[in-house]
Chain A
Amino acid sequence: MSDDGAAVVQFEGASKWYGNVIGLNKLDLIIPPGITGLLGPNGAGKSTLLQLATGQLRPSQGKVSVLGQRAWNNAELCRRVGLCPEQDAFYEWMSGREFVTFCARMSGMGPAAAREAAEGVLERVGLAPQMKRPIKGYSKGMRQRTKLAQALVHDPEVLFLDEPLTGTDPVVRHELIQIIRRIAAEGRTVVLSSHVLYEVEAITSNVILINHGRLVAEGNARQIRDLIDTHPHRIVIKSADNRALASRLVGYDDVVGVELRRRDGAILVETKRPDVFYGRLANLTVDEGLRIDEVYSDDDTLEAVFKYLVTTS
């Protein structure tokens, strides 16, 4: 793997502009070996980050390096790096085997070795039975597998996967997740982007959150959770007397927001001191006879963490 185990991919003050639009804004980031999930909403800058890391885009400012080498326009680095792009584009008239063999040959393999490698990798991603069919007849799942196969065919050390699970059904998604886990288990560094949190959570707990081209947070889900302790905790309460309950809750100092949710009539409370709040809630039911049907935290999933970080960044 990388000579420098601590930094497989490194961004040093890297920015990227598209005319007046900023794609990435002074990003300082180190991606370590292992699987890293890149999270962010659409337009956050995930694709820009991946394209900078794979040398397809030149940083407007700063430096981007992969495995200690400059990423931009570095043909030799391409031997050690693989990319599964997001776009659903192929030479549609080719069969899956022809396409992956072509990619293998472009990676420097001879015709026989390329064919052997292509067949091997197509088998690994579960596309062996369909590999002789033209790509234009492939389902979405097959197309994703083909993209994965072309990225793996030259046996790269670092693999970048741009939204690899997009558009797949639950069964295919599960299979692809298994494949990606196995790829990482072989000792490769995998960086995958997604805007669907549970997909990333299913693969890794090591995540990077970006939004508006900026790094919002990085670490594992627990570390990120710790980061947001300073943010108000969100609690959902369902009650038959929700208006009376809401009017009581507004009076407490630690409650910074109360909202009556339209869709289910529940009360959404934002508090800076959840421990104190939960204790007080019990007293309210006993002392004032307010009926509470259901209480739960809105912060238990990574999605909530992400929502906090993104909306306040």
Chain B
Amino acid sequence: MPIFDQGYQHWNGALTSHARRWWAVTRQGLRAQLRNRRTKYLVISAWVPALLLAAFLALWGLFEQKSSLLQPFFFLFQALPDEIKQGPKAYRTTIWTVAFHWFLWIELGVSMLLVLLVGPDLISQDLRFNAIPLYLSRPMRRFDYFLGKLGVIATFLAAVLIVPAVLAYVIGVGFSMDISVVRDTWRILAGSVAYGLIVAVVCGLVMLALSSLSRNSRLVAMMWAGVWLITWMISGAVGESLEDSKIKTRPWELISFTNNLHRIRQSLLDTGSAARQLEQLVVKAQEAAKTVAGGSLPGMQETRRGPFGIRLPMRRRPNNAAVPPPPPDVFGNREDDSRQIQQLRDLFESPYPWTWSAGVLLGLSVLAVGVLSTRVRSLDRLK
């Protein structure tokens, strides 16, 4: 029986291994997405916080060395507590942790927006234009296809989470002129990279699953907005409603997709340790303020704000300086003091274990993989 030419052009050259075939899909996806000006601008603007982080780490490095180069920026460090000023190296890990924490917090918001821009079309358009057979009729497995699409999201997220974090870290180490920085802060780098990978994989899988649920990419974008923003608002609303309930672990925070990612970040960066060191500083500052309020140190009856909004005692004034009357509720208010400490804890710690969030994210990822394998069928099962 003769075999007729059906237009298939046989390729006689060598084929790449399966391990690299996903890259063809990723490369094409990246090219397509980078044609969108808004995506390009967002990626570029996502680097602004990274520049600020790098600048901050560089200044901190110089501050540790008491470098004369720091003279023009000295005012920035005036507000720091004396403990930090006298022994900055003891606070190195804490300061770096806090800096990376805020950087990654901002970048997570940018990442969510980036996924909203680049993700919805990835599979929904292939479904809409019936393009999946074009992929699967090549020597390509469904896994390669998924990996290729995941690669598009992962590349963009790596570009705003991992790459800038690593570069900022390198700059920070470079300016510190001290190899012990690596010993003190390696965990922050490893944590940041791991966090970036987790965000890329989880967000990528969830977005791909959503994208495979509809041929309408606008609907996919709305579903992503729901996963990102509405779950966050729901978590807040449930929290308000159950604030005075017996539940102290605040499990409703698990409803929020981004809260779960924040919780993982806290664990990876060990922000709890940083919070405890900062807490000690706050407690010392509060005690010192109470002592001053007792009359032993005239001229220290005002407050000033340290980093992260922590209330600190004022520096000494000359005895003959005019002293304004203290605000009535500044000192000796235990409720106020404990609220400050609680706020600090809320910023860097959560009352529930990180494994709960990891479980939620893992469950979402498994669900996403299930949805993907059901919605994107193999060639022999396509209609």
A/B: CB atoms within 8 Å of each other: no
Chain A residues engaging chain B, CB cutoff 8 angstroms = none
